[in-house]
Structure 1
């Protein structure tokens, strides 16, 4: 009788997650900041025109200044489950570090960006599910928050489907495309995540 091989903790069903690499990821991060729709939906400095400087800063931030920073990759697999070619990077995701003297609160914030051509396929949901498990199970965190810009209705709906609770809105805090929008704050607690995970196991 053979046992199943252990699950790779850096894989989900269709995705893999790895650390940013320089210089091999330079072109990818340039593509990320050049995807203007994705950039405007994920970056509060979205009135700027992004270029190579922003791409480099983003890559360095993920590598050096986060609690966890990963490149989200689309796996290419054979029917036997083996990787058939190098995974394709489609986005980036991170957990923010706590400020000085704040780690005992066991709280973080998620940031995620998926290239526009790969949105609407469930990859964002899959990636967020993976990083929530990493935050609560591996890092032992208690609270994970996420923010969404008021115009990004699809993101707000996604976060709520995944079990995040809207805590409040900073009213008219963001200027975008000729009008003011709310900055929407949502969070998930460790117990929320455990209860949701248990319900999924029961199905």
Structure 2
């Protein structure tokens, strides 16, 4: 998710990341509901036991989603950036599109945004195909801006405008 040098995170890095998330318009941890256990789903258990088991089970975090703006002095422009990161084993299962669509609905319906932007690294072929399918329009590229595994890649910039989102939701 970050173009920063990959290395173990220090306590200071983690605290800075949490502070950044707290400053976002929206920052959520994407979780899956736990699978029901065989015991709680057997026909011999009553509803109360099943309800208790589901309360004790923990949601499984699989990623992060954030919508951030440029800061309080820029609110009048009604634009923000969307960031999404999923655990590798959770990719390709439809969670990304579901989370992005949910975030876009929130951004345009609740936050009153006019434009939502995002960027992706040129080596992320799955995302490069996904974003246009969701209705994002490519705006441009930052050529050879990211060095990854001994090669240079573009950062591809996408956005969706409020009226484009409305058109998608009216179909």
TM-score normalized by structure 1?
A: 0.70
Q: Deviation per CA, 1:17-55, whole angstroms, max 9, x where unpaired?
A: xxxxxxxxxxxxxxxxxxxxxxxxx1021x230324333
Residues 11-160 of structure 1: pairs in structure 2 closer than 5 A: 42-45=1-4, 47-53=5-11, 54-62=13-21, 64-76=22-34, 84=54, 85-160=57-132
- Aligned pair count reads 155
Q: Equivalent residue of 1:135, what SS? A: helix
The more displaced of 89-98 and 71-80 is 71-80
Q: Deviation per CA, 1:45-103, whole angstroms, max 9, x where unpaired?
A: 1x2303243334323321x22111111111248799x8933321111110112234210
Larger Rg: 2
Alignment RMSD: 2.1
The alpha carbon displacement at 1:143 in A equals 0.1
1: CA distance, partners of 2:90 / 2:6: 24
2: CA distance, partners of 1:106 / 1:50: 36
Which blocks of at least 5 consecutive residues in structure 1 are unaligned?
1-41
Which blocks of at least 5 consecutive residues in structure 2 are unaligned?
42-46
